Amino acid sequence: MADQRDSRAELGQVLVVIPTYNERENLGPIVARLHEALPEAHALVVDDGSPDGTGRLADEMAAADDRVRVLHRTEKAGLGAAYVAGFGWALERDYGVIVEMDADGSHAPEDLPRLLDALTDADLALGSRYVPGGRVVNWPKYRELISRGGGLYSRLALGAKVRDITGGFKAFRREVLEKINIQSVASQGYCFQIDLTWRTIEAGFEVVEVPITFTERAVGQSKMSGSIVREALWRVTKWGVRRRLEQVGAIKR
Ligand SMILES: Nc1nc2c(ncn2[C@@H]2O[C@H](COP(=O)(O)OP(=O)(O)OP(=O)(O)O)[C@@H](O)[C@H]2O)c(=O)[nH]1
Ligand SMILES: [Mg+2]
């Protein structure tokens, strides 16, 4: 649907949504790096009442810098719900590009200019660890195995050509989020990322993968768990079976 027309400036104002839960030590540095890489971009911190005071820190940063905004939610409701709330906030305002980025330093803000360049002739620019030039730094073998295995399974089940379908560093044109009915996305964790990318592909939008260097968090605690992996397996299998049934005409789209 993108028609290879836009320059970076024509994409419009950029909002980087950063969900946080107990990221006090990571938030300051990541926002500083963001503004070093993209001085004009706005950051929206979506905090779920972090017990470590991340939300308060975000308020202080917002008071000192007009480019920083904060959305407070009262309880920890998962990364997916935080992003959906952030997207809703963005769509009520005049942002042309909405970016997903973790607070823990895994996603390098320095990669964002290339993501935006790629978005000039695509609808979703997906930061990818698994295309040539993409890398993973400091991941234990088992994490890479889960990620690669989950990605391969999802691609087979869904017939999607994207190489890093579980990736969570991505830039959307606002039209994509307007179209894919984000309020109905219930998936969390890994599965949330697969869900959004899959909906984008299914809606006929152009997805381009951009190589990134993904670095495992150095500070703070991971929220990765067995239940996150099980949720992804279950949902992806369900979507894959539905897609097959549609293909053979057993059910209607
Ligand atoms: N608002 C909000 N943010 C969350 C929640 N869970 C995770 N996050 C944030 O989402 C981002 C990604 O979460 P991570 O814990 O790094 O999950 P992960 O990247 O799958 O796993 P690790 O990198 O190994 O920790 C981080 O910025 C977290 O602070 C949540 O329930 N609410
Ligand atoms: Mg992380």
Q: Quick: pLDDT tens for 38-86.
A: 999 999 999 999 999 999 999 999 999 999 999 999 999 999 999 999 9
Query: How far is residue 55's CA from residue 82's CA, in Å, rounded to a whole number?
Result: 13
**More confident position, 202 or 231:** 202
What pLDDT score does 31 carry?
98
What pLDDT score does 40 carry?
97
Q: Which two tokens stand for residue 39?
A: 């001085």
pLDDT, the chain, mean:
92
Distances (CA, A) of 79 to 9, 84, 134: 30, 9, 24
CA distance between the termini of the chain: 21
What pLDDT score does 16 carry?
98
Is the pTM value of this prediction over 0.85? Answer: yes
Q: Is the CB of 74 under 6 A from ligand 1?
A: no
What pLDDT score does 247 carry?
87
Residue bearing the CA closest to ligand 1, atom 17: 223
Over residues 127-162, the pLDDT tens digits come to 999 999 999 999 888 888 888 988 899 889 998 899
Distances (CA, A) of 221 to 104, 167, 216: 9, 19, 11
**Residue ranges of domains in the chain, CATH in brackets:** 2-247 (3.90.550.10)
Evaluate if residue 124 carries a pLDDT over 80.
yes
Phi, then psi, of 44 in degrees rounded to 5: -115, 110
CA of 214 to the centre of ligand 2 (A): 9
Query: How far is residue 191's CA from residue 11's CA, in Å, rounded to a whole number?
Result: 28
Q: Is the CB of 50 under 6 A from ligand 1?
A: no
Strand partners, 93: none
Q: Which two tokens stand for residue 56?
A: 């308060």
Over residues 95-111, the pLDDT tens digits come to 999 999 999 999 999 99
Query: How far is residue 13's CA from residue 4's CA, in Å, rounded to a whole number?
Result: 18
